[in-house]
Chain A
Amino acid sequence: DTGVSQDPRHKITKRGQNVTFRCDPISEHNRLYWYRQTLGQGPEFLTYFQNEAQLEKSRLLSDRFSAERPKGSFSTLEIQRTEQGDSAMYLCASSLEAAGTEAFFGQGTRLTVV
């Protein structure tokens, strides 16, 4: 297993465009998380999937954001009508379903909205 992979690694988009990111978790992990990290800050939780069910969404996740995890495998995070404030690193993590288990992170997708 190659770990958590994210695609693309970098994305530059014009304000108002839609963007979609993909995350492939470690295959046996049924938990999947999306986080956002801005410069000089720690990652902040966005949303959580257990298998295909999206069980929690942060207040940070405005109506322009949507995430899916069809069939409990890979996940996508879409941002509609991007704004400059959306510029950040978007990190995906996966873990086994066990209390307090460590999460494994991908290398992230760095989004720049110009």
Chain B
Amino acid sequence: AQKVTQAQTEISVVEKEDVTLDCVYETRDTTYYLFWYKQPPSGELVFLIRRNSFDEQNEISGRYSWNFQKSTSSFNFTITASQVVDSAVYFCALSDLYNTDKLIFGTGTRLQVFP
């Protein structure tokens, strides 16, 4: 069965601290896609990044970086120098590639950044 686990329910940091959100996934597929979405209080899920199973290169986008390790089935997300605007719930998701591409989400990590 496919599953995504986000063990951190809530994280609180002070502005300018670095923070890492963990994501562990389970799948039997050899080809798959992983995603991170941000859900601010408004409710809309905002796409952040997509990574396919054949590309283990880490990615950096501004203050955001992602570390994908197939050996540990992890796809962690780091925010450097966090800001108050980063406060949101962050979801990691796995695409059910061979079955409609529907997303299987983790339970999310609520990040609170205090000034």
Q: Interface of A with B (CB < 8 Å)? A: 31, 33, 35, 40-45, 48, 50, 55-56, 89, 91, 93, 95, 99-108, 110
Q: Interface of B with A (CB < 8 Å)? A: 4, 32-33, 35, 37, 42-47, 50, 52, 91, 93, 95, 97, 99-108
Shortest Cβ distance from residue A100 to the other chain B in the assembled complex, whole angstroms: 4
State A99–B108 Cα separation when bound (angstroms).
24
State A41–B99 Cα separation when bound (angstroms).
22
What are some 7 contacts across the A-B interface (CB < 8 A)? A42-B105, A56-B99, A91-B45, A100-B95, A102-B35, A106-B44, A108-B44
Ranked 6 nearest A-B pairs via Cβ? A42-B105, A100-B33, A105-B45, A107-B44, A45-B102, A48-B100
A89–B43 contact, CB under 8 A?
A: yes
Residues of A within 8 Å of B99, CB to CB, are: 56
Contact residues of B: prevailing secondary structure: strand
Shortest Cβ distance from residue A6 to the other chain B in the assembled complex, whole angstroms: 9
Residues of B within 8 Å of A48, CB to CB, are: 100, 102
B95–A56 contact, CB under 8 A?
A: no
Shortest Cβ distance from residue B59 to the other chain A in the assembled complex, whole angstroms: 14
A108–B43 contact, CB under 8 A?
A: yes
Shortest Cβ distance from residue A22 to the other chain B in the assembled complex, whole angstroms: 16
Shortest Cβ distance from residue A109 to the other chain B in the assembled complex, whole angstroms: 9
Residues of A within 8 Å of B91, CB to CB, are: 42-43
B101–A95 contact, CB under 8 A?
A: yes
Partner of A42, one of B43, B44, B107: B107
B43–A110 contact, CB under 8 A?
A: yes
Shortest Cβ distance from residue A5 to the other chain B in the assembled complex, whole angstroms: 10
CB closest chain-B residue, reference A109: B43
Partner of B101, one of A40, A42, A99: A99
B43–A41 contact, CB under 8 A?
A: no
